[in-house]
Amino acid sequence: MLIPLTKDRRLLVFLGIFLAVLLLPFVVHDAFFIRLFTEAAMWIGLSLAFDVLAGYTGYLNFGHSAFFGIGAYTTGLLMMKSNWPFYLALPVSALTATLAALIIGFPTLRLRGAYFSIATWALARAILQGIMMIPYAGGNEGIQLKAYLNPLFFFYVMSGLVGVTFFVLWFLLERAPFGLKLKAIREDQESAKALGLNPTKLKMQAFIMSAIPTALIGGIFAYWVTFIDPASTVGDLISDQALVMVVFGGMGTLIGPVIGAIIIFAFKTLFWAYLSAYEVLYLIILGAVIAISVVFLPDGVLGAAFRKGTGRHAKGSIHVTTPSPEKEA
Amino acid sequence: MAEPILSVQKVSKHFGGLTALNDVSFEMKAGEILGLIGPNGAGKTTLFNVISGYYAPSVGRVFFKGRNITGAPPYALAGRGIGRTFQVVKPFAGLTVLENIVIASFLRHPRRAHAEAQAWKVLEFTGLADRAHVPAASLTLAGRKRLEISKAMALEPTFLLLDEVVAGLNPTEADRTIELIRNVRDQGITILIVEHIMRVIMGISDRLVVLDFGMKIAEGTPAEVAANPQVIKAYLGEEHV
């Protein structure tokens, strides 16, 4: 049931949390922690963007990192090669990502289930290899940006962008009709058509909506870490981590990815702080956590915490769209 | 005769070497219930898919309210006033019954609050209001078939295609659904219905069209069709004629 916006308490809670996050630097002054918060915000943003497609629309985008990389390289190259200021270069990342989403989405969004995941993964690999071959983009060596050593600046830009992303997505997906329409596509595309929905158009809109914040985060990332190369921006790790965070937190919600990102990122940070000698264990543990949460917590930790029986896994089935041949009786 | 609401003209549909529909033509006038019958594999569902935009016919044309709709996509036809149900029910299983119907209501009511208000009216009409907040996956078969009708009705159609909405229900449920179909017709909605159960289709239809091996073999009132030797042959075999 839709609660009138002015009476929707959730909005107040979200605004309160967002405000509290923005006030964090007044409590914690240590640059190390500010950097951790910035990275946490980055992962929250990437997970939210990933979930627009994965949870709401039912498309697992294993090429999510392509948009991150495109954003990082657009901002990075404009700043380094053309001397653009950051605030002008960053919005261009949104434009190049939109263009890339249109080009990538057109052939891939007609695929279903695993085929979509394989195709997007392969395209991201192709983009990675492509950047390596372009000398202008620094090739394998990557590019070095001029350092701007102001942790607070990056904290505010990153968490500001992620906060805005959250509220925009919340309005579009949880309050406007758009979110329900995407879920209809996720549940049954053929039947959605009969109800007046144009799946191609809706999926493309979702794809772009997922690409834009991802690219903007990539652009901020480039300026923040001052060095980007194909592996660290377009590599699989970005997509994999976002997937893990979303699945662990709870797909098809906006709170789930936030919780998942915080827990997984905290685990990662603690692990590297105390157990970095056992490097190999990290991926093993991460993999085991995912396998276990997929089997036992199909709705993620969020779903486990609020099991009401109305969840999308009420019948106990895992609801990632699997490729099914079109059956017509 | 007034202009037909639906006019199917010489429609054929081939799948590779298979001819699922062969030169089928018929017309419907506004407000009537036309029953479409035929043995399994006669092409009834294929014809539904052609009319509702899921298949483009290989040959022939379909007119709706005087406009050529041949090859128009289903979502555009929904906007023009054509609603349909699916023989193999297709609920949005992970969403609640109400959400399922709200999605359909968006077609005429783009604002969410309006769409919800409209969805409640449909739920009252189809008798699913007490199930509004349960996941569609937890409905019984009878409930799911009713949900199919509800979703189609939420489109506020002028023309409804019902594909076996009674089959598989027990007699009590079947009677309730027949009652519902009559109420739908009383709202002025034209209905094309496929049904296997003869008791249902004979009782509810104003006219019948009979398909066999993709061809129209008979058309007329239920009494005329029941007496037609070709129909008897198609259903019961040569020796019963």
Q: What is the ipTM of this complex?
A: 0.92
d(CA A23, CA A135): 43
Residue A310 scores a pLDDT above 80: no
Contact between chains at A190 and B52 (C-beta distance less than 8 A): no
Contacts 24+ apart (CB under 8 A), A315-319: A315/B93, A315/B135, A315/B137, A315/B138, A318/A294, A319/A58, A319/A186, A319/B94
Start-to-end CA distance of chain B, whole Å, equals 34
Distance CA B224, CA B227 (A): 5
Could you report the per-residue pLDDT of B153-197, keeping only the tens digit for each? 999 999 999 999 998 899 999 999 999 999 999 999 999 999 888
Given an 8 Å threshold on Cβ–Cβ distance, is B91 in contact with A175?
Answer: no
Q: Best mutation site among B21, B103, B107, B196 for testing chain A: the one with the most A CBs within 10 Å?
A: B103
What's the pLDDT at A112?
86
Residue B235 pLDDT greater than 60, yes or no = yes
Rounded to a whole number of angstroms, the distance from the CA of A202 to the nearest CA of chain B is 12
In the DSSP assignment, the letter for residue A111 is S
Instruction: Inform me whether the pLDDT recorded for B1 exceeds 90.
Output: no
B87, B113, B133: residue with CB nearest A310 = B133
User: How far is the alpha carbon of A187 from chain B, nearest alpha carbon, in Å?
Assistant: 5
Across the A/B interface, how many CB contacts are shorter than 8 Å? 110
Percent of chain B with pLDDT over 70: 98
Residue A303 pLDDT exceeds 90? no
Q: Determine, for residues A310 and B96 on separate chains, whether the beta-carbon distance falls below 8 Å.
A: yes
Express each pLDDT in A244-282 by its tens digit: 999 999 999 999 999 999 999 999 898 888 887 777 888
- Give the span between the Cα atoms of B131 and B102, in whole angstroms: 14
Quote the pLDDT of residue A95. Answer: 98
Rounded to the nearest angstrom, the minimum Cα separation between A86 and chain B is 39
Tell me the chain A residues in contact with residue B111 when contact means C-beta distances shorter than 8 Å. 177
The residues near A244 (Cβ < 8 Å, ≥ 6 apart) are A260, A264, A286, A289, A290
Please answer whether residues B65 and B223 qualify as being in contact, where contact means their C-beta atoms are separated by less than 8 angstroms. no
Residues of B with CB below 8 A from A303's CB? Answer: none
Count the neighbouring beta carbons within 10 Å of the beta carbon of residue A50: 29
Name the residue among B99, B128, B132 with its Cα closest to residue A174: B99
Q: With an 8 Å Cβ cutoff, are A193 and B135 in contact?
A: no
Per CB distance under 8 Å, which residues of A are interface residues toward B? 1-2, 4, 175-177, 180-181, 183-184, 186-188, 190-198, 309-315, 319, 327-329
pLDDT of residue B232: 86
Strand order across the B33-37 sheet = B82-84, B159-163, B190-194, B33-37, B207-212, B215-220
B73 CA: distance to closest CA in chain A (Å): 8
Nearest to B230 by CA among B209, B203, B202: B209
Closest among B187, B149, B152, B158 to B4, alpha carbons compared:
B158
A279 burial type by CB count under 10 A (0-12 exposed, 13-18 middle, 19+ buried): exposed
Contacts of B73 in chain A (CB under 8 A): 193, 198
**Residue B220: left (phi > 0), alpha (psi -120 to 50), or beta?**
left
- Taking each helix axis as running N to C, give the angle between helix A9-27 and helix A31-51, from 0 to 180 degrees, rounded to the nearest 10: 150
CA of A313: which chain B residue's CA is closest? Answer: B94
Q: What's the pLDDT at B233?
A: 86
Q: What percent of chain A has pLDDT over 70?
A: 92
Annotate A217-249 with DSSP letters as a single string: HHHHHHHHHSEE-HHHHHSHHHHHHHHHHHHHH
What the block records as the tokens of A276 is 């970095």
| Domains in chain B, CATH or no CATH each | 6-89+159-240 (3.40.50.300)
| Residue-level pLDDT at A151 | 93
| Contact assignment for B79 to A196 by CB distance below 8 Å | yes
Do the chains contact at A193 and B84, CB–CB below 8 Å? no
Across the interface, whether the CB atoms of B113 and A313 are under 8 A apart is answered no
Evaluated on CA atoms B209, B73, A196, B69, the torsion sign reads negative
- For the record, the structure tokens of A232 come out as 């660290």
Contact check, Cβ <8 Å, B137/A327: no
CA distance B103 to chain A (A): 6
Percent of chain A scoring above 90 in pLDDT: 68
Helix intervals (H) in B138-221: 141-154, 171-186, 198-204
Model confidence at A329: pLDDT above 90:
no
> pLDDT value at position A289?
80
pLDDT reported for residue A276: 76
Task: Note whether B75 contacts A2, CB cutoff 8 Å.
Answer: no
Residue closest to A184 by CA, chosen among B175, B72, B91, B89: B91
Report how far Cα B88 is from the mean position of its chain's Cα atoms: 12
Shortest alpha-carbon distance between residue A179 and chain B (Å): 10
Q: Which of A180, A191, A311 is the closest to B90 by Cβ?
A: A191
Quote the minimal CA–CA distance from A185 to chain B in Å.
9
Average pLDDT over residues A67-90: 96
CA distance B58 to A3: 49
User: Considering only alpha carbons, which residue of chain B is nearest residue A188?
Assistant: B92
**What average pLDDT does the segment B118-140 reach?**
94
Interface touch B84/A194, C-beta < 8 Å: yes
Overall average pLDDT of the A20-42 stretch = 94
Rounded Cα gap, residues B223 and B206, in angstroms: 10
Which residue among B74, B98, B102 places its CB closest to the CB of A193? Answer: B74
pLDDT band at residue B240 under the 50/70/90 scheme:
low
Q: How sure is the predictor about A224, in pLDDT bands with cuts at 50, 70 and 90?
A: very high
- pLDDT tens digits along A153-198: 999 999 999 999 999 999 999 999 999 999 999 999 999 999 999 9
- Residue B241: pLDDT band (50, 70, 90) is low
pLDDT of A120 above 90: yes
| Average pLDDT of span B54-69 | 95
Looking at mean pLDDT, say which of A45-54, A291-300, B193-202 comes out highest: A45-54
